[in-house]
Amino acid sequence: MTWSEMQPLLQQACLETLWMVGWSAAIAIVGGLPLGVLLVLTDRGGVLPNVVVNKVVGQIVNIARSMPFIILMVALISFTRAIVGTTIGPAAAIVPLAIGAIPFYARLVETAVREVDGGLVEAVQSMGGSTWTVVRKVLLPESLPSLISSATTTIVALIGYSAMAGTVGAGGLGDLAVRYGYQRFETQLMWVTVAILAVVISVFQFAGDVAARALSHRSPASGAPRLVLLRSRAGKTAGARAAATTDAANSAATAGTAEPGESAQLTKTP
Amino acid sequence: MITTTDLTKVYRSRGREVTALDGVDLHVREGEVYGVVGQSGAGKSTLIRCVNLLERPTSGTVTVAGQDLTALAGRGQRAGSALRQARSRIGMVFQHFNLLSSRTVRDNVELPLEILGVSGKERTRKALELLDLVGLADKAKAYPAQLSGGQKQRVGIARALAGDPKVLLSDEATSALDPETTRSILQLLRDLNRQLGLTVLLITHEMDVVKTICDSAALMSGGRIVESGKVTDLLATPGSQLAEELFPVGGAPSGPDRTVVDVTFQGEAAAKPVISQLSRTYNIDISILGAAMDTIGGNQVGRMRIELPGPFDENVVPIGFLREQGLQVDVADVDATQTAVLKEGAK
């Protein structure tokens, strides 16, 4: 296969991937953020402790996360049809991608928000702040760098998931690599596709890292973006194929967001 | 200004009950600096957090500036708008400053004003004014991470003052600071107390803090207030545990047949050269075993342990002389002291 033959295929696949991942990531962030915050607020010792809500939401998130993506996609077929009117094509892939990523991002948000020092919550309460004020003025702004890192992780995971969206005819880079490279033995095209995926993932990771760093004011010399290519290179190999990405990226994100020495509790017990 | 009546707080976790406050009656007068001291676990922290109801007392009432806060609290865990409004008129500073790292110094000071719904321009004006008051006008655009501990606490104080509170609660505000910074922060609190007529309730485990700025003090132990009152009155109380903690004197007699006497100086008597007068008048040799002197509110106060030769019977007259001078004199039971010292050592 020559380059001129590959080019239109690659171009279209690229656009499909970006379109699917873009929409599903946006939906995942909008849906996962309140869910994650809710998990922290309703936790025991939280601002609004509520065991029932916490356990129910926590279980829903667990079940949704334990579902293998390909099964989730099939299980959601009728739901997808109800929403977008079709069960094939990129638009149809967005629904299961978003549904799968919401609980994923919610857990990352939960971890990030839990890292916020309980003393800050107490300080705002002592000023007469309401729960909404605590969320808006403390929890979200203080965890913003971690929230951005988590969004980056979610996007990278979504790029991995989107490879499977080919099973519903959604196209995209991953699907191209599977259909042409693997099934038709077009090794060259497969490697080109994998390389493009690696570049796309690196770009997202780099942008996310720069944004998170620029917004973090925790250390005296903050706001100066540094090159962190090493970390994104580690993400390349994982991002290229299949759903194994999730766990690796997940642990990388947890390691990235955890601040040593920071209290993870929301309220101090005397 | 702040009154708590029979305040009790019991924590329940996994069937176990821990009584953090056990019937605390506290009375802080308007315009004074009131210090609550005690060891870790004595309940000080719970007490101060009960004053603005960050911690809900199990029973008892809290009244701040004539307003019964416990009545405003309602039953649920959430603070209703009446309680939140009352809280906004009580400033609070914390041991670990609790400044938002995502906001600049100025924005941190503006935070309580945002909660109060003050307009943008007015907020900025007020924040800069407060930063000027605490001596940090040039740091308005810095982030908390770029400041030293003492500067952070100044920002914390400026923030606590933003809502024009009548009462300031200080939760171990100087405990994370070095001695020199501690002194400057205490000086600032003292100045604010005088300039703004601010009533300050502070808790601390550092006796120096009480000596430096407190008008009144209370000693807590096991969730109860063991002793309380004006610092000068406490010093004049024979056997006051707080006076002893504030001005600890120790020292064992140099031999048998000596009389050990603890003398408390305060008021006018403190300015007189009593010890040398005593020595000259009765022609006796006096050794000083230990002494702690300080200046509280411009007056010299302190305690001293001295040793007179001979047993107590022979020293009745010199001791009478000391009492005549207006000093408070306690004959120390040395055996008891020694056993106490031994016990301390055994621990």
For chain B, give every domain's residue range: 2-236, 247-346
Domain that holds residue A35: 8-257
Q: What is the pLDDT of residue A250?
A: 45
Residue A266 lies in a domain: no
Q: Is the ipTM of this complex over 0.95?
A: no
Residue A43 lies in a domain: yes
Q: What is the pLDDT of residue B274?
A: 86
Q: Do A123 and B94 touch (CB under 8 A)?
A: yes
- Residues of chain A scoring pLDDT < 70: 221-270
Q: Do A125 and B87 touch (CB under 8 A)?
A: yes
Q: Do A127 and B111 touch (CB under 8 A)?
A: yes
Q: Do B101 and A270 touch (CB under 8 A)?
A: no
Return per-residue pLDDT of chain B as tens, 347 residues. Answer: 999 999 999 988 888 888 999 999 999 999 999 999 988 888 899 999 999 899 889 999 999 998 999 888 766 667 788 899 999 999 999 999 999 999 999 999 999 999 999 999 999 999 999 999 999 999 999 999 999 999 999 999 999 999 999 999 999 999 989 999 999 999 999 999 999 999 999 999 988 899 889 999 999 999 999 999 998 888 777 778 888 888 888 778 777 788 888 888 877 777 788 888 888 988 888 888 888 887 766 677 788 889 888 888 888 888 898 888 888 888 876 554 454 444 454 44
Q: What is the pLDDT of residue B74?
A: 66
| Burial classification of residue B25, based on how many CB atoms lie within 10 Å of its CB (0-12 exposed, 13-18 middle, 19 or more buried) | middle
Read off the tokens for A160: 């991995």
- Using a CB-CB cut-off of 8 Å, the residues of chain B touching A125 are 54, 79, 87
Closest residue of chain B to A129, computed from CA coordinates? B115
- Using a CB-CB cut-off of 8 Å, the residues of chain B touching A267 are none
- Using a CB-CB cut-off of 8 Å, the residues of chain B touching A130 are 79, 81, 84
* CATH fold group of domain B2-236: Rossmann fold (3.40.50)
Q: What is the pLDDT of residue A51?
A: 93
Q: Which CATH architecture has domain B247-346?
A: 2-Layer Sandwich (3.30)
Instruction: Give the β-pairing of B16-28 and B2-13.
Output: antiparallel
Number of domains in chain A: 1
Q: What is the pLDDT of residue A63?
A: 92
- Using a CB-CB cut-off of 8 Å, the residues of chain B touching A126 are 52, 54, 87, 90, 92, 169
Q: Does A213 touch chain B (CB under 8 A)?
A: no
Residue A193 lies in a domain: yes
- Using a CB-CB cut-off of 8 Å, the residues of chain A touching B11 are 269-270
Q: What is the pLDDT of residue A148?
A: 96
Q: Do B163 and A125 touch (CB under 8 A)?
A: no
Q: Do A219 and B11 touch (CB under 8 A)?
A: no
Selected residue of B85, B95, B101, B175 to mutate for chain A interface (largest A Cβ count, 10 A): B101
Residue A264 lies in a domain: no
Q: What is the pLDDT of residue B75?
A: 61
Q: Do B115 and A133 touch (CB under 8 A)?
A: yes
Side-by-side strand order, sheet with B224-230: B90-94, B167-171, B199-204, B33-38, B216-221, B224-230
